[in-house]
Homo-oligomer: A and B are copies of this chain.
Amino acid sequence: MHPGKEGVLGQLFGPVMTTDAMAAVTSDRSWLKAMLEFEAALAEVEAGAGLVPSTVVGPIGQCCLDYDDFDILALGRAGRMSANPAVALVAELRRRLPAEAARWVHFGATSQDVVDTAMMLVLRSALDLVLADLSRAAAAAADLAARYRCTPMVARTLLRHALPTTFGRKAAGWLVPLLEAASALQRIRHDRLAVQLGGPSGTLPGLGPGGPRLGDQLASRLGLVAPVIPWHTDRTRVVEAGAALVVAAGTAGKIALDVALLMQDEVSEAAEPAQPGRGGSSSMPHKRNPAMSAGAGAAWRMAQGLYAVLLAAMAQEHERAAGAWQAEAETLSELCRAAGGAVSVTADILAGLEVDEERMAVNLQLARPALGSSEGGTGNAEQFVDRALAFYRGGNWGVGGHD
């Protein structure tokens, strides 16, 4: 939410939760840019269909490139009058444009068309970042699984020593959900990010019988999916995107939890990558905290609540909601930041994970008396590693089943 004169928001505690790159693609400026992309593309396809004069395309397009030049806080404050900033943005565009272009900009569209389409464009950039980090995390997990395929360690169930496993098997157990998360996000990325163009009542009344086709063209121009019909109060795709993001964050949360537990002094089987200053405490110079895992854990907890907001906003009344829709934009940005941050730092953890095979052996030995003969050894740990690696290399992660 917005800062007053006293200063900005989200810069003091935010960086622990997310990356600079994700903060950038979900910033107010990126939203504004996306909203302006919608207006420029709309003018283009409308001119192509003869609905607006082709002479307005240039000026509108030019004006929409000036996204660095708009006063975002002023737009946001003006947005209080209509519960979203689109009305104010269109007014500002009209103020900047020559009369004819001012008349035709935003023609036939409604506020929600702009904001929803911008949301999809912002989501697209954000999902690409999360997917890249998931890919990085999966590569690192696969590498750990392969490298420590046969390294014995004790499996822990209900936080107690169970039978032996291998560290490779543990890493395989991180790898598979990373791939499942990537698969779910890819589906959203490619099949579910749709343009919104319904006009004031979801019927595109101002655009003539070519309206629906125009929506398809707009989708194509913006690289989005053309929906069957406008989805003003069908929030399935928003909630589905949120669900995939929060699942990715949860997978990161699980891995970070495991690493923090392995990093306990008495356990010491693995550690976050060392770096001068990392994990330091303001009072205990000797300490090395699992600061990365803590960041991932914090982001994961935030992601849960942020997703709950999207869910609480899902049942939207009639043709446009009074309150529910308005809760989504900021929330989805925060959710991208939280999930993206959790996944990114998890990729960093996995890529630089310090593994202490000797300590694993020691702790396993500790467990021996209780385990008894433990005839099975590490059982089929290696075989499961191989299955996970084959799945990883196979690339078709959507199903998550074994052939």
Contact = CB atoms under 8 A, between A and B. Distances in A.
Interface stretch (A43-51, A54-62, A280-288, A349-357): A280-288
Interface in A348-403: 363, 366-367, 370-372, 374-381, 383-384, 387-388, 391, 398-402
Given A162-B287, A225-B400, A295-B83, A318 B9 contact: no
A232 B173 CA distance: 9
A369 to B, nearest CB: 9
Interface in A8-25: 8-18, 20-21, 23-25
B384 A13 contact: no
A27 B8 contact: yes
B291 A376 contact: no
B265 A161 contact: yes
Interface string A298-315: 111110111111011111
A36 interface: no
A214 to B, nearest CB: 10
Given A263-B160, A305-B306, A81 B280 contact: yes
B81 A191 contact: no
A148 to B, nearest CB: 14
Interface residues of A, number: 202
Interface in A195-214: 199-207, 209, 211-212
B236 A251 contact: yes
Nearest to A169: B203
A273 interface: no
A10 B13 contact: no
Given A76-B14, A311-B250, A200 B266 contact: no
Given A83-B298, A200-B283, A308 B314 contact: no
Nearest to A299: B327
A265 B317 contact: no
A266 B29 contact: no
A236 B397 CA distance: 13
Interface stretch (A96-104, A132-140, A330-338): A330-338
Given A200-B281, A400-B228, A158 B322 contact: yes
A1 B10 contact: yes
Given A1-B334, A5-B24, A266-B267, A319 B157 contact: yes
9 closest A-B pairs by CB: A297-B323, A205-B376, A7-B29, A2-B14, A203-B379, A4-B24, A205-B379, A1-B14, A157-B320
